Amino acid sequence: MHIVLNNPVLYVVDYPSVGAIEVIDKRRARGVLLAGDTALRFRRELEHVMSQGDDAEDFEICLDGYDALLTQPAIYQ
């Protein structure tokens, strides 16, 4: 398990041993566990956004493409 990103918009954890990535949209308190090609695509898009800087709007735009998949409630303890 590797925490890739933790900012006011997004929380991302990579699980390289199983080829999955967990994405939590903090704005909506929703998340998803991505695997396979979808996880690879998200990693590439996130790396691109991160290389551009830390503008919250860029992260929001990146997440908007995965909105339909973010269906699991995020429970904070």
pTM of the model: 0.86
Q: Which residue has the tokens 């933790």?
A: 6
Residue 58 tokens, joined: 């860029």
At residue 8, the 3 state secondary structure works out as: coil
Q: How many domains does the chain have?
A: 1
Residue 33 tokens, joined: 């566990």
3-state DSSP: the chain helix, strand, coil percent, rounded to 5? 40, 30, 30
Residues of the domain holding 64: 2-73
> What pLDDT was estimated at residue 77?
60
Q: What pLDDT, in 10s, does the model give residues 47-70?
A: 998 898 878 788 888 888 898 999
User: Taking the mean position of all CA atoms in its chain, how far away is CA 69?
Assistant: 11
CB 24 within 8 A of CB 75: no
CB 62 within 8 A of CB 45: yes
